[in-house]
Every structure is written in C-alpha cells, then in structure tokens.
C-alpha cells in the first residue's frame, strides 16, 4: 500500500517536474563518470585513457539516461504523448504522403463501414418484434425444392392450430390489394394484410392507438374493423388522434378503425398499409374450395425449440396426408425461424460484398505499407540518429506504429464520412425489396467496428515497415552522403506488396466482371414479349359495387373500348397476373384419355385469365391454332396453352383439339384451341413454366392488369388513360401505372444493384492497385537513376533501359495475376447463386479482366520507365 | 509485446540486484559508484553492476520508497547523489533476505538430490 502511494506520488512528481528530474539525472550520471575516471587515474592511468575507459564501462551516458527514464513511472504515457506529438508533426510535414495514405485508407475503411452497417442493420440487429427469437414461419413443404416454403391451405392451418401444442400463438395472413376511399385525397389502391386473431399477439406487438383485434372480430359478420399503419394514419387521416371509432371505406365496405400501429411495424412486406380480420370459417371445406394461399406465423412456447415444433407438426402433417389423400399427399410442414425467413435470402450477397470491401481495404493497406517503406528509406538517417541517441528498437517501432495508427484513425474518420454518404446512396438507390434497408444506420456498433478496423489496419500496414526500418545500420546510415538505400530486404517486401495488390484486385475485378456479364445476359434474355411502347396498370374492382360477374366484365370491356379509342393507342388487353410482378395462380391438371396420376403427383400448371387483346398488346406470338376472342364467353370451355406445356406434355402430337381437366374446375373438360409463345413470367432468370390461359369471362377476376400498346412512347399515355377509367367510375383507383420496360427493369433491380456495388468496389481496387504499382515502380526507377546512368554511359539504348524497368514491373504484375486467377477459381464459387447464364470460371471474363489489368499495369510501369530513360548520364553520375 | 519479455528478464535479475543494493546500503549512505564498488566488494568481485542497470534499479527503488536520495559531497569534494535505506527499505531487506535464504536452501537441496 505504501508502495502504491509512493509510486503514485512519483508518477505525479515525474510528470510535473520532468525537466528538473532530467537535469538531476544528467548530473548524477556524469558525476558517476567523473568519479570513475578519478578512480582509474588513481590506479595509474593518464586522464585521457581513464576517461575513455570510464565511458566505455558506463556504455554511453545517453543510453543510461534512457534506461532510467524507461524504468520510471509514467514513462509509457509520457513517451506515448511524445510519439503522438512527434507523429502528428511528421505527418503534417509531408502533406502529400499523408493525404495519399489517408485517402486510400478512407476508401477502404469507408467501404467497409458502409457494408458493415448494412450487415449490421439487416443481419445482426435482431428483428424489431418483441422476443424475435421465438417467432417462426410455418410453411407447407411440397415434393420439390421450389415448394420448400409453400403457402398454406386454410384447412391445414386450422388443423395445425387445433392439434399442435408447441405454440403460444399461431396466425394466418394473406396480402391483398384493396381500394381505400374516405379520409383525404383520391381513391387509392393499398396493400393490406388480412390476418387471423393471433397475429398481433404472435408478433408481440400492440397498436400505439386503440386496440388490436378481438377474438370475436375474427368471425364472419363481425369482421368489419381495420387497423391502420402509422404511415396511412399520417397521410390519409392527418395523424388525427381521435381517429379510433371513425369509418374507412375499404373496397366499398365501411369498416371501423380500431387501432393504429407504431411507426415501422410491418410483417414480411413493408408496403402493407392496413390490417383486417381474416375471419376464416371452420365450417367451410377449404380443401375442396380453394388452394394454398396463407402465410402462417407462430410464436413458440417458452422452452420449445424449432426442431421440437418441426417434429410435432411433421407428425400432424403425416396424419393429414392420410385423412386427406387427394389434397395432402406429398405435403409436409417446414418451420423456419423468422430471422432466417427475413434475411436468409440476402445473406450470401452481403457476405460476398463484405469480402469485396475487405479486399479493397487490404489493397489500401498494402499501398500505405509501401508508402511507409519508401518513406522509411528517406527517414533512415533520422531513425539511425535516434538509435544512436539511445532509443531502443522497441521504442522506434512503437513510435512508427503510433504514426501509422494515427494515419489509420485519420483514414477511419474520413472513412466514416464517406460511409455516411455511401449509406444514403445505398438506401436511395437500393431496390425496395431488400429487407430492412430502411433500418440501416451508423450506430455505436458500426462506429466500434470502424474504430476497430482502423486500429487493426494501422497495425497491419505499419508493423512490417516499422520492423524493417527500426533496424538501421548506424554506421552506414550516418555516413555523410549515404544514399539511404534500404537494400534488398525492403525491395523484396515492396514486391510482395505489389504482387498481393495485383492478386487481390484481380479477384475483385473477376468477381465484378462475372456479375456484369451475368447481368448483361439477364438483360438480353429473350422475354417472349415486346416491352417497347407498352403501358400497364392494375385495377382492383371493389366487391361492393362489382359483386356480379357481369359488372366486372362490363367494366373491363368498357375500359378497354374507351382506351382503345384514344389517339396513339393500338391495342388494349388485360390479364389477371402481369408477367414479372409476382406469382400467378397454380393448380394441377390431367390430360383426358391418359392414366389418372397418383394424388400429389398431378403435373402443375400456372393459370391466368386474359381478355382478347392481351397477346397482341404484349406482342406474344400465336404459334398454332387460334387466340381466344369475343366469342369465348362465360360458358366457353376453351383454353390456350404455352409452348412449354405443348413440348412437355404433347411432345409428339398436336395439342390443338386435345382435352385437359384443371383440378380447380372440378371435372370440367377444356379443349386446347391454340398455342402461344413462352414468356418469362416469374423472373427473367427463370425458365418459363407450364401455363394455360382462360378467357376472362370463365373466371371473372375482379383484379386485372391492363396492358396498352401505344404507337409511340407509352409513357405519354400515362395521364390520359387514368382519366378514361375515372370517367367510368370516379371512385376507382388506378395502381402501379408504369411502362412494361419499367416493370422489366424493376424485376432485375436487385441484381443490378449488386452488380453496380461490386463494380464500384472493383473499380476502387483497380485504381488503388495501379496507384500502388506506379508508386513502387516510380520509386525503384528513382533508386536506379545511378545504375541507369552508368548503363547509358556504357552504351545501353533507351529501349534496353525501358525493357529493364518495364520488364521488372510486368513480372510482378504477371505473378500477381497468376495468384489472383488461382484464388478466383476458388472464391468465385461463392457467387454461383447470383450468376445467370455463365459459369463461375467463365473463361472470357478471366481473360478479359487479366488483359485489362495487364494494360493498366503497362501504363503504370511505362511512365516511370520513360522517366528513367530521360536520365542524362552525366547528371546521374554526378548525383553522388 | 516485446516490452513484456524485457520486463520478465528484468524482474528475474532485479530480485537479486535489489537485494544486493539494499545490502550494500545497510552500513552507510552511498552514491552510485559507491554502491557499485560496495557490491563488487561484498560479492568478492562476482557481481560487477554497470550503470545501465544500476541507475534504473536505484530510481525504481527510490520510487518504491525503499531508498531516499540526497545530494551531498563525495570524498573528492564532488557533488553526488547519495542513497540511504528508509524504514520500508530495511523491512524489504529483511523479507528479501528471508526469501532468498529459503530459495537458496531449497535450490541447494534440490541440486544435491540424486
């Protein structure tokens, strides 16, 4: 204890009386030397010899003093502050070096911070529901992999809910577009979720105003209530605090507003603006009446694991397979944790992007390490002097590390600013189907990450040059006129750095190249339709005013007629599910006259209804037979099939005239009258599915997409077309008014986004690597001025010199490319799932990217080489 | 990092050095060279402590409160810093002596064992 107090006292004393202590120390050590000298003289030496012997024995006054200083309390702090000041000063003295290094580091650290903040917001931060870890999605699992997370039949959902014991709550939801009138503004189509009673309790969320749904409101006849999203409450109801109890008209029916959710609340789809009770009726035979269309969410009971819940539901599903052979054969259950559901799909690309930015940072590190090496060479005399004055090697290393960490922290600071700006860009340009994109911010964890990687990079790029430079040969370095060359070791290091940079940059460029090639392929996919000059929009007719099929059909007929009469319109059609905007209805079918397939084994088919003008408006060719037209009304038993269906199920016969039965039309036989061309309906990168088309009157959908082919630019029709709709029904909203080209572009927004990001990172990597290459080549050319002078004096030609200098750089580049290609072969496999139409080792990409890098390297080599050949031998030789 | 290695080695030697310095100062206050000579004398010339380790040890021990230092005059009328034991220093000498003896006996018997 006394020791501690005494130490603390000395620390205070040491830091406050530094100069006095130093003076006394000097006096103490020199008095020692004096006394030792006298002692030696007493023993018979002359004064000069005695003094020399004494000094030798002491081993350097300054070294002794340094030892004492180092052993004193507070020496760490003191020398740290000193290093910091010294470091700052020496960085400011070389602004060119400092700015270059800070910019390189800021690019690397900024890119890492931006991508990490995305990963933090999307992957790491837990979902915003209460206790999100116990929330799961429950899907049906079909026989094939694409059905692994299939929507759920209401009947199966009701049975699961009744029989399972693993859950506190289980709730069903389904999204629907509805028309909203009332409140402020025009009638509007909004997305809503119809939910069963357990929905809000399962997510552990409460409305911020009002209440959630009562159990009895989830029954037919009592379901006319609605809960608003915060956004809808603000935009449509002016944030009215007294909105509870007021009425909203949804698709023509009055509903009482009972609650408003807090801002940011959403379930799977952040476009949903309202929630209403689903009111399933347990008395209805849903298996006979409808397909699978629900999304089921559940809250696990405390202590129940996902595996246990999965096990229980699998057992229940097995029973249901036996009790409902026709409907359930081949169908099981798939329990997916909510977090996995939300982010599972985006995780792989985020990991690839993180790897990409890590590479950028490594290149930046190699660059700065090289700069430091060159700088250390020119600082060698300064370091040697400090060593001679008693600084130990550890002390020198520490001082240089302080400098490099200082650099890295400056880079980190600028990097955070870059990242902040970059995140705004990401959010602004990011496709809206990236989950949780709006939740990305720079929070303390991100800042901690940035600080951490700044320190790490500072150590990483600083350590090797520091170790290298802290071992100067005093004799050589201090000699007057020494050229301060750092010799072979540091040249080897520099070369290793350059090779590393080239290899890393090549991997990134190949990654980006593959993405670009894949994206170009995606864009040039044969869609099967002609998106030029086509305007599309969605119309969802409310059941209240359009309860009868003839009302629906009449509306669309009138709308098509009015629009077709507009100048500049060529042809108008409508379809139940517009291509590239989400899934269509799906069902099973069988061909009349062929053996009955086993239950669960029926081939699947996508079912759409169309009006006569649709195929012409979309530019889809008729391959065989005839199209459907006005003759094909409500009682029509005719349909069209697509080419895929014709090839797959009628390979060696003419399908026209053949008969099939679609499961949901319950035994009614349809006859094929025509074959139309395949189109990419689901996504550009998905092969066309087996599909049929019925005439609209056969299944009078109340929601259809209108497709208008114009003579010229379709966008010009976007003001006049909605007017025609309103002329028929002023209450009817027009939704998703866009050209077909916009629809196509939006469907590939995410791959475009990924491609652009990766391309940007690869571009940064290329610039950093070529700057690094240039720097090293330039440095070594300068170092070799003397040598070049001699060679030229001895008669070497410019071309020889050029070959010498460029050859050296190109050798490094080629080694780097070799390593990079080998690494790419291994790493690009991670990208398999994002690539479309090309392999992960696409030869063209590998060759083109290597060629690009070689070209850039040639330029980076050529400039210093040319400078070297301009050397005047006389001056070069006199330069000594 | 490497500083820790140095500390470790220093600790090993410091134990011995501290004890020798404390012992050297038991009889009377001495300046640096005096301490060095006295150690050489009482160890029959086995230990020749150089200023590079002596002065850091003296300063550390002073900070620890075992020694106090005063400026005085040497035999040759030269200004010099004289170190003497404090009470804490004497206590420390006793503990370290005891420790050392225990170690010494243990080591000797260990080395005799066959």
- The alpha-carbon gap from A765 to the nearest alpha carbon of chain B, in Å, equals 33
Token readout for A549 is 């099929």
Of A2, A35, A71, the CB nearest to B78: A35
For chain A, which ranges sit under pLDDT 70?
1-16, 72-78, 388-390, 432-435, 471-489, 599-600, 876-880
Contact B88 A64 (CB under 8 A): no
Secondary structure letter of residue A131 according to DSSP: S
d(CA A209, CA A226): 12
Low-confidence ranges of chain B (pLDDT < 70): 1-15, 114
Q: How far apart are CA A454 and CA A459, in angstroms?
A: 9
Are B50 and A67 an interchain contact pair (Cβ–Cβ within 8 Å)?
Answer: no
CB A529 within 8 Å of CB A620: yes
Going through chain B in order, the beta strands assigned E by DSSP cover 30-31, 67-73, 79-85
Q: What angle do CA B3, B7, B9 make, to 5 degrees?
A: 120
Measured between alpha carbons, how far is A833 from A655 in angstroms, rounded to an integer?
Answer: 36
- A35/B6 touch (CB, cutoff 8 Å), yes or no: no
Of B53, B64, B81, the CB nearest to A6: B64
The count of residues in chain A is: 880
Q: What is the pLDDT of residue A868?
A: 77
Residue among A106, A61, A177 nearest A537 (CA):
A177
Give the distance from residue B40's alpha carbon to the nearest chain A alpha carbon, in angstroms: 14
Chain B residue with minimum CA distance to A55: B51
Q: What is the pLDDT of residue A643?
A: 94
The reported pLDDT for the residue numbered A486 is: 46
Tell me how far apart the alpha carbons of residues A775 and A773 are, in angstroms, rounded to a whole number. 5
Flag whether residue A35 sits within 8 Å of chain B, measured between CB atoms: yes
* Of residues A360, A543, A396, the one with CA closest to residue A471: A396
Q: What is the ipTM of this complex?
A: 0.80
Residues spanned by the domain of B106: 2-112
pLDDT at B10 (0 to 100): 41
* CA gap A212, A226 in Å, rounded: 9
Tallying the residues shown for chain B, one arrives at 114
Question: How wide is the angle at C-alpha A691 spanned by C-alphas A687 and A694, nearest 5°?
Answer: 155
Chain A CB contacts of B50 below 8 Å: 57-59
Ramachandran quadrant class, A213 (left: phi over 0; alpha: psi -120 to 50; beta: rest): beta
Contact A31 B31 (CB under 8 A): yes
- Which tokens belong to A304? 């129940």
Choosing among A8, A17, A68, which should be mutated to test the B contact, i.e. which has the most B CBs within 10 A? A68
The per-residue pLDDT for A489 is 67
Determine the straight-line distance between the first and last CA of chain B, rounded to whole angstroms: 40
Provide the 3-class DSSP secondary structure of residue B17: helix
DSSP E strands in A196-246: the ranges are: 209-210, 225-228
Q: Give A-chain residues touching B59 at CB under 8 angstroms.
A: 68, 71-72
pLDDT of residue A793: 80
Which of A10, A28, A62, A391 would best serve as a mutation to test chain B binding (most B beta carbons within 10 A)?
Answer: A28
Cross-chain residue pair B31–A35, CB shorter than 8 Å: yes
* Separation between Cα atoms, residue A265 and residue A69, nearest integer Å: 62
H-assigned helices in A470-525: 474-478, 487-523
The Cα–Cα gap between A784 and A776 comes to 12
Of the candidates A7, A24, A394, the beta carbon closest to that of B2 is on: A394
B32 contacts on A by Cβ (under 8 Å): 28, 31-32
| Distance of alpha carbon A271 from alpha carbon A228, whole angstroms | 12
CA distance A636 to A250: 33
Q: How far apart are CA A760 and CA A111, in angstroms?
A: 10
Looking up residue B54, the CATH number of its domain turns out to be 1.10.10.10
According to DSSP, residue A82 is labeled H
Q: How many Å lie between the alpha carbon of A802 and the closest alpha carbon of chain B?
A: 45
Separation CA A299–CA A240 (nearest Å): 33
Evaluate whether A661 touches A592 at the Cβ level (below 8 Å). yes
Using one digit for the tens of pLDDT, what is the confidence trace for A41-50? 888 888 888 8
Tally of domains within chain B: 1
């Amino acid at each position: 204890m006394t020791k501690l107090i005494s130490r603390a006292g000395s620390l205070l004393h040491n830091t406050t009386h530094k100069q006095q202590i130093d003076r006394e120390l000097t006096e103490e050590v020199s008095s020692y030397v004096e006394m030792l000298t006298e002692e030696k003289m007493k023993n018979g030496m002359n004064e000069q010899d005695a003094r020399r012997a004494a000094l030798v024995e002491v081993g350097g006054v300054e070294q002794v003093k340094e030892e004492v200083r180092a052993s004193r309390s507070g020496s760490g702090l003191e020398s740290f502050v000193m290093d910091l000041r010294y470091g700052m000063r020496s960085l400011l003295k070389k602004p060119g070096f400092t700015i270059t290094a800070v910019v390189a580091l800021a690019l690397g650290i900024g890119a890492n911070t931006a991508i990490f903040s995305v990963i933090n917001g999307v992957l790491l931060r837990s979902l915003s529901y209460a206790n999100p870890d116990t929330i799961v999605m429950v899907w049906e699992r079909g026989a094939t992999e694409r059905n692994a997370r299939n929507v759920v039949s209401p009947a199966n959902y009701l049975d699961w809910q009744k029989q399972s014991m693993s859950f506190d709550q289980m709730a069903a939801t389904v999204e629907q577009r509805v028309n909203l009138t009332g409140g402020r503004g025009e009638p509007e189509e909004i997305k809503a979720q119809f939910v069963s009673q357990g929905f809000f309790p399962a997510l552990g969320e409460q409305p911020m105003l009002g209440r959630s749904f009562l159990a009895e409101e989830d029954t037919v006849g009592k379901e006319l209530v609605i809960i608003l999203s915060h956004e809808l409450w603000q935009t449509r109801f002016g944030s009215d605090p007294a909105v509870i109890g007021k009425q909203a008209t949804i698709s023509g029916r009055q509903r009482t507003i009972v609650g408003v959710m807090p801002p940011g609340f959403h379930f799977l789809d952040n476009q949903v603006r309202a929630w209403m009770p689903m009111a399933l009726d347990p008395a209805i035979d849903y298996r006979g009446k409808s397909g699978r269309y629900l999304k089921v969410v559940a809250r696990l009971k405390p202590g129940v694991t996902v595996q246990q819940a999965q096990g229980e539901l699998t057992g229940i599903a097995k029973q249901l397979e036996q009790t409902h052979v026709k409907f359930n054969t081949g169908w099981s259950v798939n329990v997916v944790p909510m977090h996995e559901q939300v982010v599972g799909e985006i995780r792989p690309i985020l990991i690839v992007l993180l790897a990409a930015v890590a590479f950028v940072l490594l290149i930046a590190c190699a660059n700065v390490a090289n700069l430091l090496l060159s700088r250390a060479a020119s600082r060698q005399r300064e370091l040697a002097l400090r060593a001679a004055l008693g600084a130990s090697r550890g002390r020198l290393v520490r001082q240089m590390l302080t400098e490099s960490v200082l650099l890295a922290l400056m880079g980190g600071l600028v990097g955070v600013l870059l990242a902040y700006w970059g995140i705004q860009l990401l959010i602004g340009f990011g496709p809206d189907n990236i989950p949780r994109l709006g939740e990305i911010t720079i929070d303390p964890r991100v800042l901690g990450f940035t600080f951490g990687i700044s320190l790490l990079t500072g150590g990483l790029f600083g350590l090797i040059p520091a170790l290298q430079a802290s071992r100067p040969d005093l004799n050589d370095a201090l000699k007057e006129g020494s050229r301060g060359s750092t010799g072979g070791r540091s040249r080897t290091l520099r070369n290793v750095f350059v090779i590393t940079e080239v290899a890393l940059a090549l991997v990134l460029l190949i990654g980006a190249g593959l993405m670009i090639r894949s994206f170009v392929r995606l864009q040039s996919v044969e869609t099967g339709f002609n998106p030029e000059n086509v305007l599309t929009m969605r119309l969802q007719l409310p059941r209240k005013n359009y309860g009868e099929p003839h009302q629906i059909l009449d509306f669309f007929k009138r709308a098509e007629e009015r629009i077709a009469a507009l100048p500049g319109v060529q042809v108008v059609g409508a379809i139940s599910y517009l291509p590239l905007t989400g899934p269509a209805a799906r069902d099973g079918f069988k061909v009349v006259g062929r053996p009955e397939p086993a239950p669960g084994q029926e081939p699947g088919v996508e079912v759409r209804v169309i009006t006569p003008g649709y195929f012409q408006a979309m530019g889809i060719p008729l391959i065989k037979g005839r199209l459907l037209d006005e003759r094909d009304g409500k009682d029509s038993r005719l349909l069209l099939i697509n080419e895929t269906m014709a090839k797959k199920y009628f390979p060696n016969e003419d399908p026209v005239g053949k008969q099939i039965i679609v499961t949901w039309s319950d035994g009614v036989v349809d006859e094929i009258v025509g074959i139309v061309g395949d189109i990419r309906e689901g996504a550009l990168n998905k092969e066309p599915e087996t599909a049929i088309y019925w005439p609209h009157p056969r299944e009078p959908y109340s929601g259809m997409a209108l497709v208008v082919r114009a003579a010229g630019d379709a966008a010009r029709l976007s003001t006049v077309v909605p007017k025609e709709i309103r002329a028929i029904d002023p209450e009817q909203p027009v939704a998703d008014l866009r050209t077909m080209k916009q629809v196509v572009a939006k469907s590939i927004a995410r791959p475009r986004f990924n491609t652009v990001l990766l391309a940007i990172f690869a571009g940064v990597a290329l610039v950093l690597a070529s700057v690094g290459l240039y720097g090293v080549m330039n440095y070594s050319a300068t170092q070799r001025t003397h040598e070049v002078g001699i060679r030229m004096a001895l008669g070497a030609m410019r071309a020889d010199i050029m070959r010498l200098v460029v050859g050296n750089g190109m050798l490094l580049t080629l080694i780097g490319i070799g390593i990079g290609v080998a690494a790419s072969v291994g790493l690009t496999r991670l990208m398999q799932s994002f690539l479309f139409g090309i392999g992960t080792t696409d030869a063209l990409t590998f060759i083109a990217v290597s060629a690009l890098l070689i070209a850039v390297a040639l330029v980076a080599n050529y400039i210093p080489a040319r400078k070297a050949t301009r050397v005047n031998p006389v001056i070069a030789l006199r330069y000594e | 990092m490497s500083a820790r290695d140095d500390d470790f080695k220093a600790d090993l030697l410091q134990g011995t050095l501290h004890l020798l310095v404390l012992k050297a100062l038991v009889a009377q206050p001495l300046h640096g060279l005096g301490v060095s000579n006295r150690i050489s004398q009482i160890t029959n010339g086995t230990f020749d402590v150089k200023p590079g380790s002596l002065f850091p040890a003296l300063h550390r021990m002073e900070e620890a409160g075992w020694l106090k230092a005063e400026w005085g005059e040497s035999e040759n009328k030269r200004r010099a810093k004289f170190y003497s034991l404090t009470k804490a220093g004497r206590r420390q000498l006793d503990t370290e002596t005891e420790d050392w003896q225990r170690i010494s006996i243990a080591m000797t018997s260990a080395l005799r064992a066959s």
